[in-house]
Structure 1
Amino acid sequence: MTSVEDEFAALDEAEPSGRFEVEDDQEEKDIDPYESEDHGHAGPELVKPQVHGLNAHLLFAPFETKPDVDGMRPYFAIVSAFEPDLEAEFKCDGTTWKIDHGIDSVDDYDNSTIRYWDGSIATREQDSGDNYLEYQIPIYDADDEKRNRRVNFQFRPALPEACHAETGNRIRSMPETLPEGVRVQVQASNVDPEIVLELLQSLASNIGVNSHYFEADAVHEWSRIMGLEYYVRCQRELVNELVIGKMALFDRLSQFERQRSGCGELKWDNGEAFGRRHHVALDAEQLSHLYQEHDVGKLIKSYLMKHPGEDTDSDTATEHPKIEVQYNREYTYCGHLPWFAEDAGDGSPDVGWKLLSKRLQSLLMNVLDWAELPRTPGHDAFVSDDHFDADARLEPDVASDLTLVPDPIDEVADAERDVVTNELLDEPPTDAEKDVLGAAAEKGAFERLQDLAEEAGVSSSTASRTVRKFETLFSRLDSIQLADEVVRDRVQDLLAGVEQRLDRVNKGLDLLASGRNEIDEDSALGQWARRWGVKIAESSDRWSDQLRVAIVGGNLTESELLSVLRAGYEAADMTQSVDVAQFASAEVSYYDRDGEKVDIGEWVGVNQGGRTKLLGKLEVDALH
């Protein structure tokens, strides 16, 4: 029979994995990957994302503090100026804008055109008619033949205690104390939010309405930003591989969709073509697991145009997908976002359109980096379209203000794995509890506790006890299941790994001791060794009392390994037949699943002569 010493000798012959080593011919990498090569500008050199969509509900009440002036004067100014054939042409943001009346030669023109309709709000006693009219005046960039760079303005009255024109009942969706003025709904495409008010003022001035009604100072604090989106367009083949492919960015992000706190989702549509639409939605808590603190939920998506072809190497820009980041209201639970940050009310974050724009562009730049896509303008990975310019550089002052972070996903996953390891280390599961954990890891979600119990072959009380005992590993939002994919995989890994290593460990238990006394496998140290696949033996040198500890066939992170060693010291201290001082100065080695020795000198102790030793109780206590 092979002795423990023979097994250690065989393991010692294995080459170190080199997992933590740098090849001799590798140059040392710059730790700051975001430094711009253009030293004449501040900030990193980043491709400029294109605004895709903007949706806002603005309220203008310039006469709120002037009770002698009719507060609805801005609304009535629009009423007086409006005609179905109203024309306007004006310069703004370096280009010419016009009112959109449609294109006579295009029968299926699907953009909004100028029009009006009956509103549902009853008029005041001093006003004529039964209800107020509502108006739509869309404008477009005259240099855009397709008229896709545009803003649609809809004008509605604002007044307190508004009532329905037909029923006479108060309209409860409008605040009772709403000031008199005009409500303007903004729906913009490919227009920067910074020029929206300027466009509105220019339009007003050109149709005979006082532009001062729509100044920034007239924007009421109840104005809200409802949606904002930024995108870049990338080569389809790269996106398929690095963003939406198997184990690509979206898969990696969705590992946390059932995390213990926060919500998210992964959805995909490959119906017409692979990559038709994929998205990952993350709420503020989920995003905060990745970096910084977030206030609002966001949607990260990759999508193609309607009815895409299958050609991944097309010369047509729209055959290549947009990678887009947008503010997601469904996953934002902290109230509405104000147009201006200073107007945030109780329960709402101090996030106006400017800060939201910065955070969306930051996330988009991070998403590119985490997917291992470039971020520099002019790169072949980008595809220009009518609005996104692949060669355009983000303004240096804007770029320098973005929050750019290295890929945190693996670090978050490691932290999740550490949680699982520590849970199983602190509260070792019984055999029956292992069956419950194994069933939960393998089968996924269970609608009822009884279903989990039946799958594990245990009683309902055992299943219930297991879920309560390891409650931090379980999610019970809609069903009973382990918290997320990372937790599921780690539980399976630990349970399977321990069983596979038990035979090896048992061979070392009979030589585990000071004075070569047999150690009870049910002792604290024996249980610890069995649980973590640890082989322990005294040195084969008769003149040495050195204890040798080897963790065999593991798949542990640095943090997990340190936790296991701390637990081992505590177990040795609780086992009478073991000299705990020997454990405290043990030689420690760690072998991965392939039997390759991993260099852990910098992890757990002082390296002496190529051997890692703990060197005393203080060294064990210092493991962290």
Structure 2
Amino acid sequence: MTREDRDDLEEAADEAFDLLDAGRPVDGADDEIETAIEQDEMPTAGGDDADGGVELEYDEERQVDDDARSACRFCQTEFGTVVAERRHHSEDRCDEGSPMFRPDGRPLIDPQVHELRANFLFEPKDEDLHPSQDGLAPYFAVVSQWDRCLQDETGQDDVGTLEAADDIWMLNHEENKISYRDEEAKIKTRPSDSGDSYNEYVIGVVACDEVRERKVTFQFRPSLPNAKHCETGDRIKSMPEDLPLGIRVEAQSSNVEIDEVLEVLRTLMDELDIDTRYFKDECIHDHSRIWGLGLYARIQRELSEERFVDKNGVMDRLAQFTSIRRGRGEYKWDNEEIIGHRHAVAMNETSLEKLYGDHNVGKLLKSYLPKQPEKHPSGASTHHPKIEVQFNTSHSDYLDGNAVPYESNDEFDYQDLKSELDEYLLFALNAAGLPLHADPSVYVPDEYWDADERAHDVPIHSDPTEELREAEEDLTRAQLAREDLSPTDRAVVKALADGGQMHYEQIVEETETSSSSVYRAIEKWGSLVDKVGRGTYDLADDVVRNKIEDVFAALEDVTEWVENGIDAIVDGNDEIADDSPLAKWARRHGAILQENYDEFDVELTGHHSKRELRHVLRSGLEAARNTGSSVAARFIDSSFTYRLNGDRRAGQYPFTTSGGAVLILGTAMA
């Protein structure tokens, strides 16, 4: 390999690995993620339309002038490459096209909390207790007032309705959310307390609206240190040993914000004649945790089908992209009753970090319709699906699967969690090419969500999957076009591309060579070939495999064809040298160039989508311009042959000019 070729390969590798984050190892990476895809949905009525705004969408074809490429116009950070510019985030403010653009208070679509699951621990203050009471006073207050919550023979209770969180609430008898559980209560009572174990009490409330899907269910349990099992006498290890005396309140809610959950709890306690001072903010203990949270936006069904659940939609792209990289995830779908009924992609933190930035918890992204979608007419909001992001400990490695602190000055807590889910939901909507303002042609309001905007400072990330895939493919092309590769080297990698994971003895037999030659070839391929077992090897991932298959489908010997094409235009032309930018571009992309009067005949090997083709052509023209002005003019006038979406097209002229601007496949370049 010449110095120039090595520089070219290193440049491709630098740009690729600048985009590709290797991530950190994850224990139990092969474990499946349990991602229960909830089917519950509410039959909701429509709402008011919201005003539109300006869409924040990254334009892949946008050209940046030389000054903007060299330095950030806000913080003056200098860039060595376009990739470095794209990854740059200025705290002052980024260019709107940046994947890390901050809208700085600009109104964006405001997601709604759907589900919330929290464990609150309340430790009463000494000044709020009577001399004869201890920290279990709020638990015993619930016990003593329980009979008032029991449903009598007429189906009535003594609580009636209560007003909280801008709604009227009543006890949720219809779903049997009023009960106590003695068979599940296994905490042994103290010698001073009666009975063998403490009961657990469940009180559910529901808002008195037409939909009746705004609800909270509270479960009350005692909190005490060194809790022991009532039957075995052993310490219950699932409960921290240093718990204070107090009351544990598990809250599961839907369509209720967390501060509203606490307001409903205190109002309910007041209706039961239980001292609300036991449940004030100052009594919330550090052990309080959040173990489930979901945010959603509702969009038009046809947009969800086209942008999220269809082939190459957001769900498909995320699943394919992350499944071949380090991390853990799962893709589930249910189209049995209707296409797009339920689709969900779950990823842990390591997988998510391949998309953008840092992620503290794993997440599940889903698009789903109600249980019986045929019962929801087109005029109802529930005819259209929710796009929802959920946190649940089952698909997160945070603190070894533990929940998130409710409130903390030092740790990742509830507010951080909500912001992170908000950021990921906006990423998904942006990746689907949807506007991030309240566009009434996109977003569908319902009984609990106004499809409105609010000004909030959250980074907006563009979908990196295609860009990162292109970087990997460029690196693979550069590797395949190296001059130092022998026929045996290519035969080895072709065998792995065709046959998948293979033992070295199988490779020896397939390539009809020696084991020493195979080992030398594997060492030469470096990062493209991985050792996956004792004497067993495979290609790094499916991106590498697919690109190698494409190249070998078109070429019997990549270097020979490419170099012959370059020689055809180098001979007799001092302007184009073997180490010129255009020659390097040809080697990198497997392009075959032949001189034809005042233009070239260029054949691009492999298969391309329109976006990939535009990317290759644009980089080719830039290479031609860097080689010389006359070469660039000939390149623009050249005849091209390529495969576009599987169809071979010969004699194409993809470059045109309009008013001094160069168009590539009809799109302006510069």
Q: Same fold (TM over 0.5)?
A: yes
Query: Distance between the aligned counterparts of 1:308 and 1:381, measured in 2?
Result: 20
Pair 583,228 (structure 1): closer, same or farther in 2 beyond 3 Å: closer
Alignment of 1:466-485 (within 5 A): 470=525, 472-473=527-528, 482=539, 484-485=541-542
Amino acid at match of 2:232: T
Report the alpha carbon displacement of residue 286 of structure 1 after superposing the two structures with TM.
Answer: 2.8
Pick the aligned partner of 1:135 from 177, 193, 201: 201
Number of the residue aligned with 1:209: 274
Whole-angstrom CA distance in 2 between matches of 1:500 and 1:372: 40
1:416 maps to which residue? 472
Alignment correspondent of 2:461: 405
The structure whose Rg is larger is 1
Q: 1:490 aligns with which of 543, 547, 550?
A: 547
Deviations 1:475-496 (A, max 9, x none): 7889976555544433333444
Give the corresponding residue for 1:249. 314
- 1:362 aligned onto 2:418: no
CA distance in 2, matches of 1:472, 1:427: 17
Q: Partner residue of 2:168?
A: 96
* Change in 2 beyond 3 A, CA 1:492/1:237: same
SS in 2 for 1:167: coil
Match 1:178 to one of 225, 232, 243: 243
What letter is aligned with 1:388? W
Q: Conserved in 2, the CA contact under 8 Å of 1:452 and 1:463?
A: no
> Does the Cα contact within 8 Å between 1:270 and 1:277 map onto a contact in 2?
yes
Say whether 1:260 aligns with 2:325: yes
Paired residues of 1:61 and 1:220 also in contact (CA < 8 A): yes
Counterpart of 1:71 in structure 2 is 135
Following TM superposition, by how much is the alpha carbon of 1:226 offset from its aligned partner in structure 2, in angstroms? 0.7
Distance 1:235 1:528 in 2: 44
| Runs of at least 5 residues in structure 1 that lack an aligned partner in the other structure | 1-18, 23-30, 35-40, 103-108, 345-349, 542-547, 569-581, 602-609, 611-624
Aligned residue among 297, 318, 329 for 2:362: 297
Q: Is the 8 A contact 2:328 2:348 kept in 1?
A: yes
Distance 1:161 1:475, change over 3 A: farther
Report the secondary structure of 2:270's partner residue. Answer: helix
Q: Is 2:117 aligned against 1:59?
A: no
Q: CA deviation at 1:174?
A: 1.5
CA distance in 1, matches of 2:106, 2:497: 44
Q: How does 1:396-475 map to 2 (within 5 A)?
A: 396-397=454-455, 400-424=456-480, 430-438=486-494, 440-441=496-497, 446=501, 449=503, 453=507, 470=525, 472-473=527-528
Output the aligned Cα RMSD.
4.8
Greater shift after overlay, 404-413 or 459-468? 459-468
Aligned partners of 2:532 and 2:538 also within 8 Å: no
Offset from partner CA, 1:112-139 (integer Å, 9 cap, x none): 3343434011112222211111111111
Identity level (%) = 35
Separation of aligned partners in 2, 1:286 and 1:497: 33
Aligned partner of 2:111 among 46, 49, 52: 49
Gaps of 5+ in 2: 1-59, 64-94, 151-156, 643-648, 663-670
CA 1:165 to 1:450, structure 2 compared with 1: closer, same or farther past 3 Å? farther
Q: Which residue number corresponds to residue 27 of structure 2?
A: none
What is the letter of the counterpart of residue 320 of structure 1?
H
54-63 or 582-591, larger mean C-alpha shift: 582-591
Q: Secondary structure at the match of 2:318?
A: helix
SS at match of 1:82: helix
Structure 2 length as normaliser, TM-score?
A: 0.66
1:506 matched to 2:564:
yes
Alignment of 1:316-395 (within 5 A): 316-335=380-399, 336-342=402-408, 350-377=411-438, 379-389=440-450, 392-394=451-453
Q: How many angstroms does 1:428 deviate by?
A: 6.1
Q: Distance in 1 between matches of 2:264 and 2:531?
A: 50
Alignment CA distance shift 1:354-1:507 (3 Å): closer
Residues 1:250 and 1:116: Cα distance change in structure 2 (over 3 Å): same
Q: Structure 1 252/467 Cα, relative in aligned 2: closer, same or farther at 3 Å?
A: farther
Write the letter of the residue equivalent to 1:491. Answer: I
- Of 201-210 and 371-380, more deviation after overlay is shown by 371-380
Q: Is the 8 A contact 1:255 1:484 kept in 2?
A: no
SS in 1 for 2:354: helix
Matching residue's letter, 2:113:
V
Q: What SS does the aligned partner of 1:250 have?
A: helix
Distance 2:652 2:613 in 1: 15
Matched, 1:120 2:186: yes
| 8 Å CA contact 1:156, 1:184 repeated in 2 | yes
Please report how far the alpha carbon of residue 218 of structure 1 lies from its aligned counterpart in structure 2 after TM superposition.
1.8
Return closer, same or farther for 1:253/1:584 CA change in 2, 3 Å cut-off.
Answer: same
